């Protein structure tokens, strides 16, 4: 089974890039399942139903998310609708809207995509992602499990990889928007990448207008996140899993797209 996992999609320029590139990637790599982190789809923070629909029409089968899933309030009522393929981190406290994993059956294989949120440097109160993963693995022993670990600290991501080594097919990091060059597959068949990166404007600071972010660091004052216009980068990872619930291939993808001449701020 081939899985294309796309990094955090940041605003309209990134969405346009996804629409342009997915047909080409589907032709070249023939993925059986396309996943993307969608918590920054709309104006760089959160996701709207309109933008969700746009991206599913482009070919994305499931959206994972993270700490920004709540930033566009209009999406919250949709999170409990199982027809809406958006998951939020499973280790939020009980009673939070939505669900933290989704299951599929592809090519006769049962697959489970699990979303977890890290606890280091994120200023959130969450259940333990390590023990949360244990619970899901125990409940779904016959599934090939892929985890989007949305976390700040590389050490926390790598620790989860070592903790779950041999029990899941892959752990793919998101959140930092910077693609790392450390793809690996353990002897036990678990693939790992610290961060898949993003789809967003290259001349930015992790997808946002660089001037706004620099000013915030200089002055230590609140800032408004704006999505710039410009040449985009497209970061993703390609996974290949087998019937033994192991990964046998992990390949990072990194493309530059043409300048997007429409969209940008608050789109």
* Catalytic positions: 68
Cβ(229)–Cβ(201) below 8 Å: yes
Q: At a CB cut-off of 8 Å and minimum separation 6, what does 222 contact? A: 216
CB < 8 Å & 24+ apart, contacts of 126-134: 126/89, 126/91, 126/92, 126/93, 127/91, 127/92, 127/93, 128/91, 129/89, 129/91, 129/160, 130/159, 130/160, 130/163, 132/90, 132/91, 132/100, 133/160, 133/163, 133/164, 133/168
Residue 147, strand partner residues: 114, 171
**What is d(CA 264, CA 201) in angstroms, rounded to the nearest whole number?**
9
**What is d(CA 225, CA 45) in angstroms, rounded to the nearest whole number?**
8
What distance, in Å, lies between the first and last C-alpha atoms of the chain?
A: 34
- Residue 139 has a CB neighbour count (10 Å cut-off) of 10
């Amino acid at each position: 089974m081939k899985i294309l996992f796309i990094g955090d999609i940041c605003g309209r320029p990134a969405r346009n890039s996804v629409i342009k590139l997915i047909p080409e990637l589907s032709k070249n790599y023939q993925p059986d399942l396309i996943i993307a982190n969608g918590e920054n789809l709309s104006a760089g923070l959160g996701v709207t139903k309109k933008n969700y629909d746009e991206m599913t029409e482009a070919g994305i089968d499931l959206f994972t998310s993270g700490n920004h899933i709540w930033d566009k309030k209009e999406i919250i009522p949709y999170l409990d609708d199982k027809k809406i393929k958006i998951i939020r981190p499973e280790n939020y406290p009980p009673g939070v809207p939505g669900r933290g994993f989704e299951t599929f059956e592809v090519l006769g294989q049962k697959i489970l995509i699990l979303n977890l949120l890290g606890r280091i440097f994120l200023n959130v109160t969450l259940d333990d992602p390590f023990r949360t993963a244990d619970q899901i693995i125990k409940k779904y022993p016959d599934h090939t499990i892929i985890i989007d670990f949305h976390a700040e600290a590389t050490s926390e991501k790598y620790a989860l990889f070592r903790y779950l080594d041999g029990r899941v097919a892959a752990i793919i990091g998101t959140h930092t928007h910077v693609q790392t060059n450390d793809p690996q597959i353990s002897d036990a068949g678990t693939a790992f990448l610290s961060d898949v990166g993003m789809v967003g404007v290259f001349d930015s600071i992790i997808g946002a207008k660089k001037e706004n972010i620099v000013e915030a660091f200089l002055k230590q004052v609140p800032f408004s996140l704006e999505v710039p216009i410009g040449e985009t980068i497209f970061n993703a990872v390609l996974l290949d899993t087998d019937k033994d619930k192991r990964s046998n291939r992990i390949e990072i993808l990194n493309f530059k797209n043409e300048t997007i001449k429409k969209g940008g701020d608050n789109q």
